[in-house]
Amino acid sequence: MQLLVTGGAGFIGSNYVRWLLANTDDHVVVLDALTYAGNLDNFRGIEGDPRFRFVHGDIRDRDAVRAAMEGCERVVHFAAETHVDRSITDPDSFVLTNCQGTNVVCDIARQLGAERVLHISTDEVYGSVEEGSSTEADLLVPRSPYSAAKAGSDLIALGYGTTYGLDVVVTRASNNYGPYQFPEKVIPLFVTNLLDGHQVPLYGDGLNVRDWLYVQDHCTGIDAALRRGAAGEIYNIGGGNEVPNRELTDRLIALCGRDESAIEYVADRPGHDRRYSVDCSKLRGLGWAPARDFEAGLAETVAWYRDQRWWWEPLKVRAAVAR
């Protein structure tokens, strides 16, 4: 099978491309605009694989999407603006990329007769969950420009199924961690700051809770939904590792050999959701389960960033990521 992977030069997308090339016989076309979070270095070591092809293009550009999608049976749509803090200061780009871009991808897929579009979303569309866990049938209550734009893109994609009969599947995942994550997100930001002897900025009281999913487990969940999921369905993907941000920070400090003086408490993010939690029983019904232990996965992630300065140091310099 030939797959188009939009946003495949980003964190999760590039890990999925690597997973596909290592575990399947599929051919992969990556379409990526190479904005600040897209990085061709994420393909180091696989760029010469004859089953891999990279196309530089924007998902809002119909001609670019059509050219990349020609000959692809299925589409895995990662491409999106994803950082909540950036969405607060620049909401326009999130709406344009996430909503308009998703509309273009689905419309071209419809025109070209793609077998399936798998739309990658986030648990943040459910909003803050005080008790229990979100199911796929729950009301969407996004609380930031980022999550609102993702919720909109979910509905656009699903609308193509209802209106045009396009085979669409949506996945909503919890917070990912692992190699090749752009160092503005909390784990790589904190790890790289700690490795460089800097402090880490912890929002508010540090008691906001997130569920952490190792990126390779996300990749296997995506693939289960792609190959075994039912058309028109939504599947949650979570790691089952709900941890307050302060506890996560303490774990990272210990792994990096620092102490709690490395913590800098900063003003909380506007509208900061208190807790996310997803019920993954629907995807587990397809035979999927996360395989990576959180403690081991976190240690492996810290070791990866410790050993891959060549990858993240230039990114922090170019993007002027806050320390």
What pLDDT sits at residue 292?
Answer: 96
List the catalytic residue out of 124, 184, 217, 223: 124
**Whether 191 contacts 180, CB under 8 Å:** no
SS3 content of the chain, % helix, strand, coil (to 5): 45, 20, 35
- Residue-wise pLDDT tens digits, 198-238: 999 998 888 889 999 999 999 999 999 999 999 999 999 99
Q: 166 and 266 in contact (C-beta within 8 Å)?
A: no
End-to-end CA distance of the chain: 44
- Whether 164 is a known active-site residue: answer no
Would you state the pLDDT for residue 232? 98
Residues of the chain predicted below pLDDT 70: 83, 319-323
Angstrom distance (rounded) from CA 278 to CA 207 = 18
Which of the residues 81, 123, 167, 211 is marked catalytic?
A: 123
Distance CA 44, CA 249 (A): 30
pLDDT, position 323: 41
pLDDT at 144: 87
Tell me: domain 179-210+241-274+293-319, CATH 3.50.50.60, correct? no
Report whether 88 contacts 270 (CB < 8 A): yes
- Which tokens in the block code for residue 289? 């389960």
Catalytic residue among 146, 177, 180, 235: 146
pLDDT for res 322: 42
Q: Is 81 a catalytic residue?
A: no
Which conformational region is residue 271 in: left (phi greater than 0), alpha (psi within -120 to 50 degrees), or beta?
left
* CATH dotted code for 2-176+215-237: 3.40.50.720
Residue 49 annotated as catalytic? no
pLDDT of residue 162: 97
Domain extents in the chain: 2-176+215-237, 179-210+241-274+293-319
